[in-house]
């Protein structure tokens, strides 16, 4: 795993190892998921769906992340890659390495991030632009 990402994971796993820093329903895999979201947001993929240009970090996670958030954000922001395909490969590799640490229900959020990332991979491979997703309830049309 990339040294900068490893540093980020050490910072937050250390922070969240203290029970008083954890929020309701905290899972260790949340850390990897939210780091993945931060990478996704940092890379600002042009082929991301309009509704998914950014991945929201949960309020619970952000409020519990403490002063470490600024240090982590600075490290994430220092990751510079030349093009979007390199960024996408970096994120895919990160997700795979993160998923290898967990099993069962702990993979839910990482699987969700992987799903959105894989959909982007397909758009890059096919050379298509992202389409807008319309979340209207069909009963109210």
Residue 135 scores a pLDDT above 60: no
Domain range annotation of the chain: 3-128
Query: What's the CA gap between 33 and 57, in Å, rounded?
Result: 9
Q: What is the pTM of this model?
A: 0.85
Residue 112, pLDDT score: 92
The beta-carbon contacts of 64-68 under 8 Å, at least 24 apart in sequence, are 64/16, 64/21, 64/22, 64/23, 64/26, 65/12, 65/15, 66/15, 66/21, 68/11, 68/12, 68/15
Asked if 87 contacts 76 with a C-beta cutoff of 8 angstroms, the reply is no
| 39, containing H or E segment | helix 29-43
Mean model confidence pLDDT for the chain: 88
Asked if 130 contacts 51 with a C-beta cutoff of 8 angstroms, the reply is no
What is the tens place of the pLDDT at every residue in 79-132? 999 999 999 999 999 999 999 999 999 999 999 999 989 988 888 888 887 766
Query: What's the CA gap between 1 and 52, in Å, rounded?
Result: 26
Q: How many CB atoms lie within 10 A of CB 8?
A: 25
């Amino acid at each position: 795993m990339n040294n900068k990402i490893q540093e980020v994971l050490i910072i937050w796993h250390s922070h969240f190892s203290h029970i008083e820093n954890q929020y309701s329903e905290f899972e260790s895999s949340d850390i990897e998921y939210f780091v993945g979201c931060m990478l996704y947001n940092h890379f600002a993929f042009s082929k991301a769906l309009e509704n998914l240009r950014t991945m929201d970090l949960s309020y619970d996670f952000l409020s519990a992340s403490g002063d470490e958030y600024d240090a982590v954000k600075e490290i994430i922001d220092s990751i510079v890659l030349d093009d979007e395909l390199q960024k996408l490969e970096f994120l895919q590799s990160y997700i795979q390495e993160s998923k290898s640490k967990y099993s069962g229900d702990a993979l839910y959020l990482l699987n969700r991030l992987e799903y959105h990332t894989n959909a982007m991979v397909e758009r890059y491979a096919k050379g298509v632009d992202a389409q807008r997703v319309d979340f209207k309830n069909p009963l109210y049309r």
